[in-house]
Amino acid sequence: MLDITTLENWLWDAACKIRGPVDAPKYKDYILPLIFIKRLSDVFEDELKTLEKKFGSLDTVEELIKLDHTYVRIYIPNEARWKEIAKQTINIGEYITDAVRSITRENATLQGVIDTTDFNAIVSGQRIISDEILKTLINVLNRHRLGINDVEPDILGRAYEYLLRKFAEGSGSSAGEFYTPREVAILMAHIIDPQPGDTIYDPCCGSAGLLIKCNLRFKEKYHNEESLKETHHFGQEILPSTFAMAKMNVFIHDMEAIIKLGDSMNRPAFTDESGNLSKFDLIVANPMWNQDFNQSTYENDAYNRFGYGYPPSSSADWGWIQHMFKSLNKNGRLAVVIDTGSVSRGSGNVGSNRERDIRKSFVENDLVEAVLLMPENLFYNTTAPGIIIIINKEKKCKDKILLINASKLFEKGRPKNLLPDASIEKIVEIYQNWKEEESISKIINKEETVKNDYNLSPSRYVSQNGEDDTIPLDEAVVLVKEAEEDRQQADEKLQEVLEQLGFE
């Protein structure tokens, strides 16, 4: 069996073969489908050998599975099998594109997953990736098999996610669209701690990293193969290319999950027979921070999601949280990683503030269980630290909130900082045991939140030496946008009053 180091080095070597000709944010679109196709093909060959022992003849097996694809997980037509792809010496891009399309014709679940890339694409009269580069890439991928007995799904999945992390490092601001840092995903999986029978949902799942880490956490605890075969993981992703990565990622991890394409905020894909939002036991998510949604998204909502208030157009953070809250069952929990300012913006302001008012409603209804401040420079699309908010409909410690300041629990890394295993264990221990620890955690009651005008920032309550209280630039921008929006609304109301009084 291939070990993780061999796999990572091999797959990264393959990826490097196209780094030059293809822009960093795009070359994942070529290498990931090819690795996926090789895995499908090698597993298919292994299944053929098993069936040959049962039915006695490979020809018989070929005829049988051609008529009935249910004998195999994925049916691969002969011309699309890896050994045929590896033989090609001319028109390679065209051949691969046609091969991929033949696979999707036979397997509807893979439509929109592996057939989104044209390996023969031309821009300004030139091929994006030449046949020579493709041949080199295929030769590198041909070094090892990825069959059932060649590599464990979890190990292959880790190597696949290693590639996603490497792609995130080179993708700049677009990285946040598909990748949550591995250690953050592990932390959230341990916090949410899925139990047998739990359903888990991510409304903006990216490449499905959070769902996968929840599945791995479950396997680590229970080793219950029968339970694992049931589909308990559900995700929706708005970007077609990222949706494709998610579908490939869960398959590579040998995991059952239903991933749907679409806009969760405006067109939720998971609804019941009555058209209401589906309910889940657990929700994990890393939505785009401070997303800009038109007010009509909230005002014209058909699912009654925003009963605690409409967020400002400048930041949908509490819009996402309300969508998730509405998607929880009666005793559900959610953990969301979101912009740091979402727990403090508006507190201390004179008059009304939308985010503060929504936050107040969640506190007054005793729904906020814990808030974790993360270290800075963990995420690939920002240096901001981020906050994990845990909402629980069945809190054990009523009218209390656990605040954890983990801002110093990191290791310096390049290009991004790291959250080491020891720090993850420390945070999880504090959360699970619900305890205070000097300079790290504090438990506050509702009176303290009222006194601080519903500011839930851990750094306000858990002091650490040398802490910088300067407002980050991206948070300051949101505050300015929100103030401008409030000013415009005030002007409109004033104009209405003046018109009613006869002043035009």
pTM of the complete model? 0.87
Select from 151, 168, 194 the last residue of a domain: 151
Give the CATH number for residue 274. 3.40.50.150
Tell me the average pLDDT across 298-306: 96
Q: Are residues 147 and 211 in the same domain?
A: no
Q: Are residues 25 and 98 in the same domain?
A: yes
Whole-angstrom Cα distance, residue 260 to residue 238?
9
Whole-angstrom Cα distance, residue 179 to residue 185?
10
pLDDT(244) > 80:
yes
Q: What is the pLDDT of residue 484?
A: 66
Asked whether residue 120 is domain-assigned, the answer is yes
Q: pLDDT tens digits, residue range 75-111?
A: 999 999 999 999 999 999 999 999 999 999 999 999 9
Whole-angstrom Cα distance, residue 142 to residue 17?
14
Query: Which amino acid type is present at position 206?
Result: G
HSE-up of 347 (CA within 13 Å, CB side)?
18
Q: CB neighbours of 353 closer than 8 A, spacing ≥ 6?
A: 345, 346, 347, 482
Q: What is the pLDDT of residue 483?
A: 61
Looking at the 3D structure of the chain, how many domains does it have? 2
Q: Which of 290, 289, 308 lies closest to 298, judged by CA?
A: 308
Q: Are residues 139 and 194 in the same domain?
A: no
Q: Are residues 142 and 209 in the same domain?
A: no
Tell me the average pLDDT across 233-240: 96
Q: Are residues 144 and 208 in the same domain?
A: no
Asked whether residue 319 is domain-assigned, the answer is yes
Q: Are residues 242 and 106 in the same domain?
A: no
Q: What is the pLDDT of residue 470?
A: 45
Q: Are residues 145 and 180 in the same domain?
A: no
Q: Are residues 371 and 251 in the same domain?
A: yes
Select from 134, 151, 168 the last residue of a domain: 151
DSSP letters spanning 300-364: T-SS---TT-PPPTT--HHHHHHHHHHTEEEEEEEEEEE-GGGGTTTTT-SS--HHHHHHHHHHH
Q: pLDDT tens digits, residue range 413-437?
A: 888 899 999 999 999 999 999 999 9
Does residue 206 come out as left (phi exceeding 0), alpha (psi in the -120 to 50 range) or beta? left
Asked whether residue 489 is domain-assigned, the answer is no
Q: Are residues 325 and 395 in the same domain?
A: yes
Give the CATH number for residue 75. 1.20.1260.30
Whole-angstrom Cα distance, residue 292 to residue 256?
33
Asked whether residue 250 is domain-assigned, the answer is yes
Q: Which domain holds residue 56?
A: 4-151
Q: What is the pLDDT of residue 485?
A: 63
Tell me the average pLDDT across 327-342: 96
Asked whether residue 379 is domain-assigned, the answer is yes
Asked whether residue 355 is domain-assigned, the answer is yes
Backbone angles phi, psi at 322, to 5 degrees: -70, -35
pLDDT(190) > 90:
yes
Backbone angles phi, psi at 380, to 5 degrees: -85, -15
Q: Are residues 101 and 226 in the same domain?
A: no
Cis upstream peptide for 415 (omega within 30°): yes
Select from 97, 117, 151 the last residue of a domain: 151
Q: Are residues 201 and 146 in the same domain?
A: no
Give, to the nearest 10 degrees, the angle between helix 153-169 and helix 240-252: 150
Two structure tokens written together for 158? 């880790």
Whole-angstrom Cα distance, residue 409 to residue 499?
58
Whole-angstrom Cα distance, residue 485 to residue 285?
27
Q: What is the pLDDT of residue 499?
A: 72
Asked whether residue 165 is domain-assigned, the answer is no
Q: Are residues 210 and 272 in the same domain?
A: yes
pLDDT(26) > 90:
no
Asked whether residue 502 is domain-assigned, the answer is no
